[in-house]
Amino acid sequence: MPNSLLARLAMPAVALSVLIPLATPAGAQNQPIRLGQPAATSAAPAYAPADPALSALRAEIAALKAEIARIKNDIAAQENARKSLATQHFSMAAKVNSVYKDFYSHQHHQNFLSVSNVPGEKGGVNTSLGIMPVSPPISTCVPKTPPPGKAPGTMRWDDRYACSPPAP
């Protein structure tokens, strides 16, 4: 009965050659076996219980990632709001400049072209109350002498010039 399967398994060399591949994990077939040390595996064994501390760390990492994503979204929203406000500011500034241009060009025409629809009248605007004279606001500004120790360029405009109020 030396050729039977049972006799072959009884021999030590044959038994090791059959049992070692059966006992090694899936990723460790090509790795050398060191006696007295567990075989190295590429993944944690499926039968190992979950470590509660590791699970808590994973949950904390996930919470931190969510917080980082929320902060990035907040920063992006604030940047978009800042850009929108800057655009609105420049748009409003352009509108104000346009209104001032229109106002001063209209005032210029009234002052120098003598707008009036009343024959024989000049320098006035016809209103329901009668003729109102149009005169440009005149203010007289005279340079002040700077106080001791101050250069004229370091003073505010109001401090550098003494202005009389516009004529009524």
**50 vs 39, more confident:** 50
pLDDT tens-digit readout, 84-94: 888 888 788 87
What's this model's pTM, rounded to 2 decimal places?
Answer: 0.30
pLDDT tens-digit readout, 58-77: 999 999 999 999 999 999 99
Q: Which two tokens stand for residue 28?
A: 């460790």
Report the alpha-carbon distance of residue 97 to residue 94 in Å, rounded: 5
Highest mean pLDDT among 18-22, 49-53, 60-64, 127-131: 60-64
Domain boundaries, the chain: 51-112
Q: Minimum mean pLDDT among 11-15, 41-45, 63-67, 120-124: which range?
A: 120-124
- 51 pLDDT higher than 80: yes
* Residue-level length of the chain: 168
SS3 assignment, position 130: strand
- Given a contact cutoff of 8 angstroms between Cβ atoms, the answer to whether 114 and 132 are in contact is no
- Given a contact cutoff of 8 angstroms between Cβ atoms, the answer to whether 136 and 107 are in contact is yes
